[in-house]
Structure 1
Amino acid sequence: MTILETTETAVGVRYHVSVDGQDLGLFSSCEGLAVEVVMETREEGGNNDFVHQLPTRLRYPNIKLTRPLGKDAAKVAAWVSSVASGYQRRTCQITVFTTDGRQVASWSLQGVVPVRWTGPQLQEDSAKVLTEQLEIAHHGFTGGA
């Protein structure tokens, strides 16, 4: 058996999100699960062969979660609006499931804060699916895939 025969490819996945154990529901799209090592360059006098590349810090982009508008929108709205009464960093769990319910991967994020919620564009003459998007900032992964 080759590695290609034993590797499962997740097609048609759902992203389950919870914040400090509070279920925010399933999302159909997740963008921004990434980390970048910020590099600093240093030129050494008299050395013209190369420039030193030094790692400095990690940078995490915001994560954007999108889904069709549904009953779980109230859970997201409650979490986002709670920021008005006090800023508190949370832990977030994003778990990827296949459409038949098998877990593919999971990430724990630390220091999570909601940045933006965008609701659907309501247009009478459009037959599009109404969607919502939640954008969150975080301070890194505490565990991964």
Structure 2
Amino acid sequence: MATLGLNAAFAAGSQLLGIRLDPYISCNFLIEIDGLLTGGFTEVTGLESEIQLEEYQEGGMNDYVHKFPTRTVYPNLVFSHGLTAIDSLWDWYESASKGKIKLRSGTIMLLDPKRLPITWWNFKDAYPIKWVGPQFDASNDTQVAVERVELVHRGISKPALARGLAVARSIV
């Protein structure tokens, strides 16, 4: 409840000071894997987290069902980008398909119009489980050839520094 009060106070103060808190644009992002920027991606999906619940129906209580949290689950991340001569994602997938699993951690960074990080999410211990190559269409000479790589991972986190930076930048 205290958080709601702080958010309301911040919103009221922002309106009084004329500060706008416009939503961020989702098209400006970078992906880093094991400390290396891995190219310009066109789409990232699967940046999600869900707490699974266990239901318990208590005898004599017919108004509701108890719901208890059990574990947090994360869907696979899917990265899409235009095909280039750099085959690092294909090489990683091909190695995994031959049983040579190399776990890698990374970061998905949301950028501002100046291409500076606004906030970011870390994923850990990922490896590729699916690769999808480009679709070819001779009748469309302007379509970019896109590859997709699907990664399984062991969780997503948003570091305190990333959360603090987003708040600090909204105040300035």
Q: Shorter-chain TM-score: what band?
A: 0.7 to 0.9
Match of 2:62 in 1: 48
Structure 1 pair 98–76 and aligned structure 2 pair: CA distance change class (3 A):
farther
Cα deviation for residue 86 of structure 1 reads 1.6
**Candidates 25, 47, 50, aligned match of 2:39:** 25
Aligned residues of 2:26 and 2:110 also touching (Cα < 8 A): no
Q: Deviations over 1:95-145 (max 9, x none)?
A: 122453121221111121112121211222223222111211111124345
Q: Deviations over 1:34-69 (max 9, x none)?
A: 101101110111222211001111110111111222
Higher relative contact order (CA 8 A, sep 6+): 1
Aligned residues of 1:32 and 1:64 also touching (Cα < 8 A): yes
Q: Is the aligned partner of 1:77 residue 2:90? A: yes
Match of 2:78 in 1: 64
Aligned residues of 1:35 and 1:60 also touching (Cα < 8 A): yes
Moved over 4 A (4+): none
Distance between the aligned counterparts of 2:113 and 2:40, measured in 1? 11
Match of 2:149 in 1: 134
Distance between the aligned counterparts of 1:41 and 1:141, measured in 2? 25
TM-score, with length taken from structure 1? 0.84
Match of 2:169 in 1: none
More strand per residue: 1
Distance between the aligned counterparts of 1:78 and 1:98, measured in 2? 31
Aligned residues of 2:133 and 2:146 also touching (Cα < 8 A): yes
Q: Report the aligned-residue RMSD.
A: 2.2
Structure 1 pair 95–12 and aligned structure 2 pair: CA distance change class (3 A):
closer
Aligned residues of 1:17 and 1:27 also touching (Cα < 8 A): yes
Distance between the aligned counterparts of 1:70 and 1:99, measured in 2? 25
Number of equivalent positions: 144
Q: Which structure 2 segments of 5+ residues have no match?
A: 1-13, 163-172
